[in-house]
Chain A
């Protein structure tokens, strides 16, 4: 009798602890990068960019996990400039198969191709290059940051809606500026817009002092246009363009009306709550990379909550299934494109003071999901790693 009772107790303890033992460990690998100098000192890049978003998402997950017996832990690994990012990645991957990667595209691909990374889930929160969702996609990489193409398409939808169809563009001389200009050009073409005039920005003067003299002259020969696109990927000179142009025209792109994953001015759809949770935690405004890291963390949280599992293959299957949906404070359920691992999401178009519009705009339809009117669509994607 006593023996039976003892066995029962043991059994009970076993069941109880088994329920409480979904342990989810998430790594955050950050490759520090040298930031090229920019003209203005006004907007320093926060030290906890990205990480703060992941931490807010982690707290959300932990609260939910507390009711379900799911335990979330988090480890941040910084890789200084010049250090071996692959060694650091191997190290993180030896402790967990769930890792948020905050690194440039080339490093992200090298990490994803490590033997140790096969079967893991990596989240890209920092590299917006469209090619990572296209020919260079990887089966173990999910993207919570929207691609450059998604953001460009969001802007073009807005311009079409406004019937601002004649465009002019200024782009910088750096490689990333050229790439962004290419993306704007392709997107304009997709939406039937015409970039009639373009100029390369290659001033080396300090525009803080003479923008009022230089910019009007520089933009004088662009001809007439409805809106001026600025492709300034480094956030260098763009801020000196608005109100200094020869013609009185709105500015859009990386300056003026900006398409981005997130903006501090998003307040509808319950977003005010996320903004205030973030501000309480980080004492600053939430930026796109913070949002991408938050969404990565919440994607894992949602998948663990719904499946009760922490195994990467179970989570990945669920995340890429039709059942998955993430409430991202942008008014629509977000989900992943099962053919390239990109998070479908609305794109806010905002000025520093207000939301101007949010794409997809009304009238831009898609046979499957209106969110797929933004960025690469399945038929044009060269991504083969997802079996499609």
Chain B
């Protein structure tokens, strides 16, 4: 018994080298770690209450977790699963984005209509910016000059200047914006609207709307086609969009804005992460409590992996 415990400790302490996808389980207060090579859950790590947003530091030595109901962003050592410290995150942190400087987290405080800026080194709040009701989607431009917060009930994308931490523009989007991403070159901003059922594309320079992408899944009522999380492929030419309770992921041509494919996945698909070589895409399916693995080249679901209850966020640890 004692030997096995020691052995277990040793195993836990040994840095894991395998490529992994980390998934937060909102209703289990855990993270499921999936081995990309075997497509199996290799361990389950306890977190604070209601973990949602998850992201790694640039050197992958730390993982940041929005523990929403603990009102904290937790900093974890990914090798040991040990919580190193909590960051002062403001109330109910849901989602965040790490600035390219690897030092500032921009956090959406869902219950508080605030975006909190935290310095992860000094663990101090640098600024709090009033945004619309229920902020959720967070994005940062590749040059770090602009951060976006989208607010679900106010239906806006708020454009924040990271020099001054002040809002310099507000753009209306459709109902319940959920997620935002800049294109790799920073020229455009994409925002998904869950109830509106669309993705809006904006010109970064002028904030003018460039396109409004709609989705249509055969056999699914339009009301249930609700775009949430999305990711660009490495070449920036294709976007994979989670369509919530329609249980499909859309494949969008980022140049023509046309939807090229729909892939059936688990129930209430929410967020996603690519493997390091971008050949596989892992989607979190909240209602079915699993992760669908998509073969990116073939645009097909190849496996479902059971994780915890209500998987929400996903992040790659190469």
Interface flag for A135 (CB, 8 Å): no
Q: Which residues of A contact B194 (CB under 8 A)?
A: 327
Q: Is the CB of B152 within 8 A of A327?
A: yes
**Do A270 and B133 touch across chains, with their CB atoms under 8 A apart?**
no
**Which of A67, A273, A370 touches B132 (beta carbons < 8 Å)?**
A67
A63–B111 alpha-carbon span in the complex (Å) = 13
Residue pair B154, A370 in contact (C-beta under 8 Å) = no
Q: Residue A64 at the B interface, CB < 8 A?
A: yes
Q: Is the CB of A326 within 8 A of B133?
A: no
User: Number of A-B pairs whose CB atoms are under 8 Å?
Assistant: 61
Asked if A327 meets B176 with Cβ closer than 8 Å, knowing A60-B133, A333-B195, the reply is: yes
Q: What's the minimum C-beta distance from A307 to chain B, rounded to whole angstroms?
A: 11
A63 and B132 contacting across the interface, CB-CB below 8 Å = yes
Interface of A is mostly: helix
Q: Which residues on A sit within 8 Å (CB–CB) of B176?
A: 270, 327
Chain A CB within 8 A of B155 CB: yes
Per-residue CB contact flags for chain A residues 30-67 toward chain B (1 = under 8 Å, else 0) read: 00000000000000000000000000000010011011
How many residues on B have C-beta within 8 angstroms of the other chain's C-beta atoms? 27
Evaluate contact between A305 and B155: CB separation under 8 angstroms: yes
Q: In whole angstroms, what is the CA distance A135 to B309 when docked?
A: 49
Task: Assess whether A161 is interfacial by the CB under 8 Å rule.
Answer: no
Interface size on A, residues (CB 8 A): 21
Residues A257-302 near B (CB distance < 8 A) = 270, 273, 276-277, 302
Report whether A273 and B155 are in contact in the complex, using a CB–CB cutoff of 8 Å: no
Determine if A273 and B156 form an interchain contact, defined as CB atoms under 8 angstroms apart. no
How distant is B71 from chain A, measured CB to nearest CB, in Å?
A: 13
Contacting pair B133 A63 (CB below 8 A): yes
Across the two chains, which residue of chain B brings its CB closest to A62? B133
Q: Does A174 contact B (CB under 8 A)?
A: no
A326 to B195, CA, bound (A): 8
The residue in B110, B153, B196 that gathers the most chain A C-beta atoms within 10 A of its C-beta is B153
- Does A332 touch B at the CB level, under 8 Å? yes
- Chain B residues closer than 8 Å to A370, beta-carbon distance: 221, 223
A352 within 8 A of partner (CB): no
A176 within 8 A of B: no
Tell me if A199 counts as interface (CB < 8 A to partner B).
no
Q: Does B172 make an interface contact (CB < 8 A)? A: yes
Asked if B172 and A333 sit within 8 Å, CB to CB, the answer is no
Chain B CB within 8 A of A192 CB: no
Contact of B195 among A273, A306, A327 (CB under 8 A): A327
Q: A314 at the A/B interface (Cβ < 8 Å)?
A: no
Q: Which residues of A contact B196 (CB under 8 A)?
A: 325, 333
Which chain A residues border B311 with CB–CB below 8 Å?
A: none
Complex CA gap A303/B259 in Å reads 30
A-B contact pairs, 27 of them (CB 8 A): A60-B133, A60-B154, A63-B132, A63-B154, A64-B154, A66-B130, A67-B154, A67-B170, A68-B170, A270-B134, A270-B152, A270-B176, A273-B111, A273-B134, A306-B172, A325-B175, A325-B195, A327-B153, A327-B175, A327-B176, A327-B195, A331-B245, A332-B223, A333-B175, A333-B195, A333-B223, A370-B221
